[in-house]
Amino acid sequence: MAYIPCVLMVLLICLSLDHMACHGPEQATDIAFLLDSSGSVRDVEFKAMKQFVINLIKKLLKKDTQFAIAQYSSSCDIHVNFSQFNSKGLWEKQVENIHRISGGTNTAAAITKLANELFVTSGGARPDATKVLIVITDGQSVDGYNLPSAIDMADAKNIIRFAVGVGKAFENSRARQELNMIATSATDHVFVVDNFDTLEKISSSIENHIKIMQSIDTNGVKPTSSSSSSSNSYLTKTTATTASPNSGQIASPGVLMIRAAVCVCLLAAALTVTVLITRRKTSAGGETVTYTNAIMLRGGENNINTTPVDTSTVYDTVQK
């Protein structure tokens, strides 16, 4: 039974290698929330929007993830930038203390401001981090004519964008097209819910999409906005999509071969050590040690040296 600990150790190492090969290290991520606080959004709805943000941050909060929160109407206010976000437990108060401002829906101006003032070093953004922007709005913008240039600016900075539409306004085709334009991918990054109380239905889907982006491909490819689908031809209405966090993260053949070779070598080494230190007690009294030749690994009883060696002789030999 002496071989059991060695085998278990090898299995644990192999499982660790499997996790590293399939998942890879997680990429640093900067995630910003842009909340619509225009006149059509009531205070209770803005509160529900903030609670959605809090719940999503709780799911994504980890060492290499930073968050920022901004709201917009006629103007845009950055309440918490990436360096101001307090991840030590006070961040919920930072979100709760944001009070709604009323006005128009200048979405393009808000996205432009975040690209210029938030997703930069002075805003706490990290140059090597994956950049994510989640826009939550309840209607079409009043500055849609500036949206193409705002999106071009976001694309230039590799900001991956999610667009969340709330309410019946997005039954209008022009409003839907605007959501498609805001999002990096109309097929994966656009969500529509009936009201603010149902935002939680899409929380898991957004979480899973971001977790996929937080994983570096086994070939070292970092996800960017340009690597996502550029199709903006239609809107995907999502309520509870459950994309797998592991999808697209299959290890390459080279990694699999290296992992298998390491596991075989570790297993062979463990079995060799186990065979070499196997002891047995004889019925004649006193302890004898049987040192089995490592050739045993090649099979066959004729290869096993079962000559008993007196313990005292072995001890004397070691002392010399």
4-28 confidence digits (pLDDT tens): 555 555 455 555 444 444 444 568 9
Q: Which helix (H) or strand (E) holds 156?
A: helix 147-156
The correct answer on CATH 1.25.10.10 for the domain covering 25-227 is no
State the chain's mean pLDDT as an integer.
Answer: 75
pLDDT at site 275 = 57
- Strand-strand pairing, 76-80 and 130-137: unpaired
> Under a CB-based contact definition with an 8 Å cutoff, are residues 148 and 178 in contact?
no
Share of residues in the chain with pLDDT > 70 (%): 59
User: pLDDT tens, 208-248?
Assistant: 999 888 775 433 444 444 444 333 333 333 333 333 333 33
Spatial distance between the Cα atoms of 279 and 301, rounded to a whole number of angstroms: 17
- pLDDT per residue as tens digits for the range 221-230: 444 444 443 3
Q: State the pLDDT at residue 308.
A: 52
* Residue 301 confidence class, pLDDT cut points 50, 70, 90: very low
pLDDT at 274 exceeding the cut of 70: no
Ranges in the chain annotated CATH 3.40.50.410: 25-227
Compare 140 and 271 and report the one with higher pLDDT.
140
pLDDT in tens, 94-121: 999 999 999 999 999 999 999 999 999 9
* pLDDT, tens only, 289-300: 444 444 334 444
User: Comparing 236 with 302, which gets the higher pLDDT?
Assistant: 302
Ranking 23-27, 87-91, 136-140 by mean pLDDT, the lowest is: 23-27
- Dihedral, CA atoms, 265, 269, 275, 278, nearest 10 degrees? -140
The pLDDT of residue 135 is above 70: yes
Q: What is the pLDDT of residue 266?
A: 65
* Inter-CA distances, 220 with 169, 197, 226, 250, 262, Å: 41, 39, 16, 13, 21
Condensed to tens digits (0 to 9), the pLDDT of residues 189-215 reads 999 999 999 999 999 999 999 988 877
Query: By 3-state DSSP, what share of the chain in percent is helix, strand and coil, each rounded to 5?
Result: 45, 15, 40
